[in-house]
Amino acid sequence: MTRLEDIGLRARVEELESELEETNRRLTNLESMVAKIRALGEEFWREEAAIMLMGAGVSSWRYDARDKNTLFQDVFQCETINENQARRWVGKSGLLGATIAINRTLPLMLAVCVTGFSSAELANTLQLEVDGAPLAWSSRERQTWCAIVPEARSARLKFRISVDTAQLPAEKQVTFSFSEIRIAPLSGGEL
């Protein structure tokens, strides 16, 4: 082999090695993207699809303060008020929220039975959000705050009930308490 052939062969080998490095880099990027897509798919089936499939047949939902709490983050243990009623206090976050599976082809009535506030100022700040948007309370009778949730093309409902924690006295560890949350189809009489 001549010296020129040897130089050409070496250049070609270096070129192939460079192409192989580029191919390996691209393969690593593709593997990373496939792993991310797979994780998104698994999350979709675990979260979104499961909720959508379950929600198709669920027409009403209820949480009683006496129920085991696996849903809400900043709530205290259940306290018995009387033989028929119990309550849970919401901590300093002032937030009570969850995403539930429910059929939304009809308007729904969301009702929360609030049993107390840690200060009178907090009572004036109780707010509701549904699917990330504010929703006004439509009525309030004694301890029950109600809102009409419009129908939607969804099998899940994300709600958030909160108070303005800026109104919370510094010495208080809780914001408000509730005994029950109900979500059910709106009956004709409630319109």
CB 177 within 8 A of CB 114: yes
CB 151 within 8 A of CB 103: no
Strand pairing report for 127-130 and 156-162: antiparallel
CA dihedral 118, 124, 125, 131 (to 10 degrees): 120
Helices (H), 44-132: 50-55, 120-123
Position 141 pLDDT exceeds 70: yes
With H, G, I as helix, E, B as strand and everything else as coil, classify residue 67: coil
Sign of CA dihedral 29, 30, 32, 36: positive
pLDDT, tens digit (0-9, with 9 covering 90-100), for 19-57: 889 999 999 998 988 888 887 776 665 555 555 555 557
Question: C-alpha angle with apex 99: 140 to 95, nearest 5 degrees?
Answer: 55
pTM of the shown model? 0.69
Sign of CA dihedral 113, 115, 117, 118: negative
CA 89/CA 75 separation, integer angstroms: 6
CB 118 within 8 A of CB 165: no
CA dihedral 114, 55, 71, 168 (to 10 degrees): -40
Greatest Cα pair distance in the chain: 102
The per-residue pLDDT of the chain, averaged, comes to 86
The mean per-residue pLDDT over the stretch 186-191 comes to: 60
174 beta partners: 91
pLDDT, tens digit (0-9, with 9 covering 90-100), for 56-87: 577 899 999 999 998 898 999 999 988 888 99
Predicted pLDDT of residue 191: 43
Q: Which residue has the tokens 């800026």?
A: 166
CA dihedral 58, 62, 66, 69 (to 10 degrees): 60
**Which residue did the predictor score with more confidence, 47 or 171?**
171
